[in-house]
């Protein structure tokens, strides 16, 4: 088994654990245990840790802030760091810290469940795009992104081998275009609703709106 590489505990893990658990249902038993002084390293089951990781992962994905997630992962004992939810969360932390090589290695050496493939594929591509933009010191065009995808195919650990279509379905594009006409800067709730409606991820919806605004800004047609 590949050794997990999540860092060890910070000096004050309980404070960050409390912050992370506030994202869960305030009436949940997890929160009660947290504020009763339980330690994550000894008191939480695999299911509970997975729940916390998923909650903090989704929050980090939407906001771009992963400090709470980072410190929660630090509190975990070794046998919990290899949970799939913890590994997926660690991938997001590495992405936010722009630790590209470590991110690629994590995704290439751990097998993930199919339901996690879309979001991890998105991280894989965004990491390669961002890394290339840093190197080239300019924004990538469609041709550059295509070349990067061809050069860096998804590892088998996050891909089922089926051909990936990077263009959204016409129905999905139409839904997004109609929504854009009404609001170029949708709220988080709007993005969630559109994601469910188009069968895309929230990240894909966010990126579509971002790219659409950039194109209109370049053309001088975006209303501020």
Mean of pLDDT over the chain: 80
State the pLDDT confidence band at 154, using cuts at 50, 70 and 90.
Answer: very high
Alpha-carbon separation of residue 166 from 75, 123, 125, 175, 208 (angstroms): 38, 14, 11, 17, 12
Query: Which residue from 89, 95, 132 is spatially nearest to 110, judged by alpha carbons?
Result: 89
Q: Could you tell me if 73 and 93 are in contact, meaning their C-beta atoms sit under 8 angstroms apart?
A: yes
**Over the stretch 84-99, which tens digit does the pLDDT of each residue have?**
999 999 999 999 999 9
**Over the stretch 171-222, which tens digit does the pLDDT of each residue have?**
888 999 999 999 999 999 999 999 889 888 888 898 899 888 888 887 766 5
Would you say residue 51 has pLDDT above 90? yes
Question: Model pTM greater than 0.85?
Answer: no
**Over the stretch 54-65, which tens digit does the pLDDT of each residue have?**
999 999 988 889
Q: Could you tell me if 158 and 120 are in contact, meaning their C-beta atoms sit under 8 angstroms apart?
A: yes
Query: Which residue from 123, 41, 40, 141 is spatially nearest to 87, judged by alpha carbons?
Result: 123
d(CA 77, CA 163): 38
d(CA 127, CA 22): 29
């Amino acid at each position: 088994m590949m050794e997990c590489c999540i860092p060890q505990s910070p000096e004050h893990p309980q404070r960050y654990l409390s912050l992370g658990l506030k994202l869960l249902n305030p009436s949940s038993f997890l929160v009660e245990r947290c504020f009763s002084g339980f330690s994550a390293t000894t008191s939480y089951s695999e299911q509970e840790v997975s729940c916390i990781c998923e909650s903090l992962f989704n929050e980090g994905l939407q906001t771009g802030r992963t400090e709470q997630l980072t410190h929660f992962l630090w509190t975990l004992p070794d046998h919990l760091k290899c949970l799939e939810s913890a590994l997926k969360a660690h991938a997001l932390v590495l992405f936010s810290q722009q630790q590209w090589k470590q991110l690629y290695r994590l995704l290439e050496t751990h097998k993930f469940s199919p339901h996690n493939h879309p979001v991890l594929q998105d991280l894989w591509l965004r990491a390669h795009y961002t890394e290339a933009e840093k190197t080239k010191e300019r924004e990538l065009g469609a041709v550059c992104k295509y070349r990067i995808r061809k050069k860096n195919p998804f590892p088998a650990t996050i891909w089922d081998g089926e051909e990936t279509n990077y263009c959204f379905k016409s129905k999905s594009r139409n839904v997004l275009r109609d929504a854009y006409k009404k609001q170029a800067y949708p709220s988080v709730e709007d993005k969630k609703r559109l994601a469910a409606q188009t069968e895309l991820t929230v990240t894909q919806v966010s990126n579509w709106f971002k790219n659409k605004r950039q194109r209109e800004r370049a053309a001088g047609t975006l209303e501020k």
